[in-house]
Structure 1
Amino acid sequence: MAEPRPMDPAGSAPWPKAWAVGAIVLSVLAAVPWMAVMPLMDADEPRFAECSRQMLVTGDWVYPQFNGRPRHAKPPLFNWLQVGSYAIFGVNEFAARLPSLLATIGTGLVLFPLARRFCGEQTAWLAVAVWLALPQTHGWGRAAVTDPLLTLLSAGALAAAFRGLEAERGGAAWYAVSGACLGLAALTKGPVGIVVPAGAYLLYVVLSGSWRRGLGRAGPYSALALALLVAAPWFAAQIAHYGREYVDTFFGSDNLQRYTVGRPVGLALGILWPIPVVLLVAFPVSLLLPRLLRDAWRERGAARGGDASARWRLFLAAWVVAILALFAPSATQLSQYLMALYPPLALLIADLLVRESEGPTPADRSRWIAGAALAAGLGLGAAFFGAAVLAARFVSQAGLDNLPLIQAVAVALGGAFIASAALFAHGWRRAAGSRLVGCVLGATLLAAIAMGQVAVPVIAFSRDQGLKELALVARDRIAPGAPIIAYGLQTSTVVFYAQRNVVEAGSRTAEETLQLAIRQPGAWVIAPRRRAGELEALGLRETAQARQYVLLERPRRGAPAAATEATSPRSPASPPPGSQTGSGAR
Structure 2
Amino acid sequence: MNTAVHPSQSRRELWLFLLFALVVIGAGIGLRDPWPADEPRFALSAKQMVESGNWLVPHRGHEIYADKPPAFMAMQAVAFELTRSWRIAFLLPSLLAALGTLLLVYDLARRLWDRRAGLYAGVALLCVFQFVYQAKRAQIDPTVTFFITLANYGLLRHFIVGPNWRMYWLGCFAAGLGVITKGVGVLALLMFVPYIFARCLHWNGVASTQNSAWRWAGGFAAFLAAIGLWLVPLGLAVWLDPSPDYQAYLNDILFKQTAARYTDSWDHQQPPWYFIGVIASGWLPLWLTWFGTVPAWARALKARDARVLLPLAWAVLVIAFFSIPAGKRDMYIMPALPMVALACAPFLPAIVETRWFRALALLVLVALGAVLAGAGLHAWSGHWKFANDLAEQRGFGGGAALWGLLIALGAWLLLCAAWFRFARASRGLVAGLAGLWLLWGVWASPLLNDSSSARGLMHDAGGIIGPDAELGLVAWKEQNLLFADRKAAEFGFVKPAHLQLGEAIRWQEAKPDSRWVFVLADAMAPCIDQVKARYVGHANRREWWLFRSDAVADACRGGNVPAPRKEVDAEAE
TM range (shorter): 0.7 to 0.9
Q: Identify the match of residue 326 of structure 1 among 299, 311, 321.
A: 321
Which 10-residue stretch deviates more, 216-225 or 85-94?
216-225
1:539-580 CA distance string (max 9 Å, x none): 2245x6697876624134xx46465354369xxxxxxx8675
Shift of residue 244, structure 1, vs aligned partner = 4.8
Separation (CA, whole Å) in 2 of partners of 1:215 and 1:473: 69
1:13-32 CA distance string (max 9 Å, x none): x9999998766534422444
Q: Counterparts in 2 of 1:88-487, with a 5 A limit?
A: 88-169=82-163, 171-190=164-183, 192-194=184-186, 196-203=187-194, 205-206=196-197, 209=201, 218=213, 220-232=216-228, 234-239=230-235, 241=238, 244-262=247-265, 265=268, 270-289=271-290, 291-302=292-303, 304=304, 310-356=305-351, 362-363=354-355, 365=356, 390-391=386-387, 402=397, 404=399, 408=403, 411-412=406-407, 415=410, 419=414, 430-431=422-423, 435=424, 437-446=426-435, 448-449=437-438, 458-464=447-453, 465-470=455-460, 477=467, 479=469, 482-487=470-475
1:49-93 CA distance string (max 9 Å, x none): 222222222222222222012222222222332222222221522
Q: Which residue does the alignment assign to 1:78?
A: 72
Q: Is the alpha carbon distance of 1:437 and 1:290 closer, same or farther for their aligned partners in structure 2, counting shifts above 3 Å?
A: closer
Which amino acid in the other structure matches residue 249 of structure 1? D
Which amino acid in the other structure matches residue 232 of structure 1? G
Separation (CA, whole Å) in 2 of partners of 1:27 and 1:403: 35
Shift of residue 173, structure 1, vs aligned partner = 0.9
Shift of residue 506, structure 1, vs aligned partner = 5.4
Q: Is the alpha carbon distance of 1:114 and 1:378 closer, same or farther for their aligned partners in structure 2, counting shifts above 3 Å?
A: same
Give RMSD over aligned pairs.
4.7
- Secondary structure of residue in 1 paired with 2:223: helix
Q: Is the alpha carbon distance of 1:101 and 1:154 closer, same or farther for their aligned partners in structure 2, counting shifts above 3 Å?
A: same
2:471–2:515 CA contact under 8 A, matched in 1: yes
1:86–1:95 CA contact under 8 A, matched in 2: yes
Q: Does 1:540 find its partner at 2:533?
A: yes
Q: Is the alpha carbon distance of 1:565 and 1:526 closer, same or farther for their aligned partners in structure 2, counting shifts above 3 Å?
A: closer
Q: Does 1:65 find its partner at 2:59?
A: yes
Q: Is the alpha carbon distance of 1:449 and 1:318 closer, same or farther for their aligned partners in structure 2, counting shifts above 3 Å?
A: farther
Which amino acid in the other structure matches residue 456 of structure 2? G
Which protein has greater RCO, CA pairs closer than 8 Å, 6+ apart? 1
Shift of residue 299, structure 1, vs aligned partner = 1.7
Separation (CA, whole Å) in 2 of partners of 1:141 and 1:343: 13
Q: Is the alpha carbon distance of 1:82 and 1:175 closer, same or farther for their aligned partners in structure 2, counting shifts above 3 Å?
A: same
TM-score normalized with structure 2 length: 0.77
1:423–1:443 CA contact under 8 A, matched in 2: no
2:44–2:60 CA contact under 8 A, matched in 1: yes
Separation (CA, whole Å) in 2 of partners of 1:58 and 1:166: 47
- Secondary structure of residue in 1 paired with 2:29: helix
Separation (CA, whole Å) in 2 of partners of 1:262 and 1:441: 38
Shift of residue 197, structure 1, vs aligned partner = 0.9
Q: Is the alpha carbon distance of 1:174 and 1:383 closer, same or farther for their aligned partners in structure 2, counting shifts above 3 Å?
A: farther
Question: Percent identity among equivalent residues?
Answer: 21
Q: Is the alpha carbon distance of 1:166 and 1:468 closer, same or farther for their aligned partners in structure 2, counting shifts above 3 Å?
A: farther
TM-score normalized with structure 1 length: 0.75
Structure 2, unpaired ranges of 5+:
239-244, 562-566
2:31–2:442 CA contact under 8 A, matched in 1: no
Separation (CA, whole Å) in 1 of partners of 2:47 and 2:516: 23
Q: Which residue does the alignment assign to 1:495?
A: 482
Structure 1, unpaired ranges of 5+:
1-7, 305-309, 570-576
2:371–2:410 CA contact under 8 A, matched in 1: no
Shift of residue 99, structure 1, vs aligned partner = 2.1
Separation (CA, whole Å) in 2 of partners of 1:114 and 1:400: 47
Separation (CA, whole Å) in 1 of partners of 2:503 and 2:557: 11
